[in-house]
Amino acid sequence: MTEEKVILKQSKEQKRKFNGNVFEQAKKSGWIKEFSKGQYFYDNNYTSLARKIENILIKKVAIKLGFTEYLFPKLIPIEIMEKMGYLEPLGHTVYYVGDNGTKPEYVLAPAQCEPVYWFNANKILNANQLPQLMLDRSGYTYRKENQNNTPESIHRSKEFLKIELTYLGTPKQVEDVRQQLLKKSLNVLDKVFEMDWTVEANGNPFYLIGKQKDNSYPKISKYRIKSGTPKERTANNLINEQRFELVSINSHGPHFTNTFNIKESKGKQLWTGCAGFGLNLWCAAFLAQHGFNEKDWPKALQ
């Protein structure tokens, strides 16, 4: 099942202070060094920028909306992955972990939100417990992304840092959280990071493969915020390697609440959703916009 992409909106063009290849410049400057294919060692400059970006996103997006921090496990039992419906369509994208060469019992967390559904399994939640808003930033996420079929690039990291936000509530609550996440993320991009962006709507998520999408699911299941705008990229002769996915803001509908038997005390339907902010790519996109000279950066990042 393929994803349909529709551009919903894009930013006014901000001043671009760097027109080279950000990945090549980062390597040349020593900010990153390839450890193995798809893995990178990030020096103190890149790390410092990542932490500044992380703190701003936590403060101005997550905390503003009421998210509180948890520590999610990153070694996920295979039975949870199977129950989620993840392994059948996307089993080739995960890293399997076994004990002493035995049959794999776990995978390294490929999405980061997996433990939330186990945490809420078979619960009956009261209205005063909703919406449930969880934040995790406790470690790497691991995923194979066509390593053998793409050029060398930070786009295709095997492990990457991510702020993961998960939300559980009534359909209206989940959609309200999603819209506020979208609004606040764009506001931060405009006013704090001074970056160009494009919002795409994507349909047909992987967990609906082989299922009939009906009215119990959202019409738009995923928003993607990407750096750059089509017009700006054409004018500056920028290639796709200079465009980075910054945020994926998702609504799962009732898929996980049905699968994990998560209920509301008065019988109201419950949905879940998640949003991932990839910090490695936020750094790359910021550098592609503002360059490597800190004096040229917006004040909040200096």
- pLDDT score recorded for residue 226: 94
Residue 142 scores a pLDDT above 50 = yes
Exposure letters 149-172 (e unless 16+ CB within 10 A, then b): eeeeebbbbbbbbbbbbbbbbbbe
pTM of the model: 0.91
Residue 240 scores a pLDDT above 90 = no
Structural domains of the chain, ranges and CATH numbers in brackets: 5-67+109-301 (3.30.930.10)
Q: Residue 88 — pLDDT band, cuts 50, 70, 90? A: confident
Query: Mean pLDDT across the stretch 76-83?
Result: 95
Residue 149 scores a pLDDT above 50 = no
Exposed, middle or buried, 255 (CB in 10 Å: 0-12/13-18/19+)? Answer: buried
Number of H-type helices and E-type strands within the chain: 9, 16
Query: Mean pLDDT across the stretch 162-181?
Result: 97
**Segments of the chain assigned E as strands:** 5-10, 32-36, 39-42, 68-69, 75-77, 96-97, 106-108, 124-125, 132-136, 140-142, 159-169, 197-202, 222-227, 245-253, 263-264, 271-278
Cβ neighbours of residue 77 closer than 8 Å, sequence gap 6 or more: 105, 106
Cα distance between residue 158 and residue 39, in whole Å = 6
Residue 242 scores a pLDDT above 80 = no
Query: Which helix (H) or strand (E) element contains residue 265?
Result: none
Query: Mean pLDDT across the stretch 106-127?
Result: 97
Could you report the per-residue pLDDT of 217-233, keeping only the tens digit for each? 888 889 999 998 756 55
Amino acid found at 118 = W
Query: Mean pLDDT across the stretch 40-51?
Result: 96
Could you report the per-residue pLDDT of 246-287, keeping only the tens digit for each? 999 999 999 999 999 999 999 999 999 999 999 999 999 999
Residue 169 scores a pLDDT above 50 = yes
Give the DSSP letter string of 110-155. SSS-HHHHHHHTT-EE-GGG-SEEEEE-SSEEE----GGGS-S-GG
- pLDDT score recorded for residue 230: 59
- pLDDT score recorded for residue 178: 97
**Radius of gyration in angstroms for the set of CA atoms belonging to the chain, rounded to a whole number:** 19
Query: Mean pLDDT across the stretch 107-136?
Result: 97
Query: Mean pLDDT across the stretch 76-94?
Result: 90
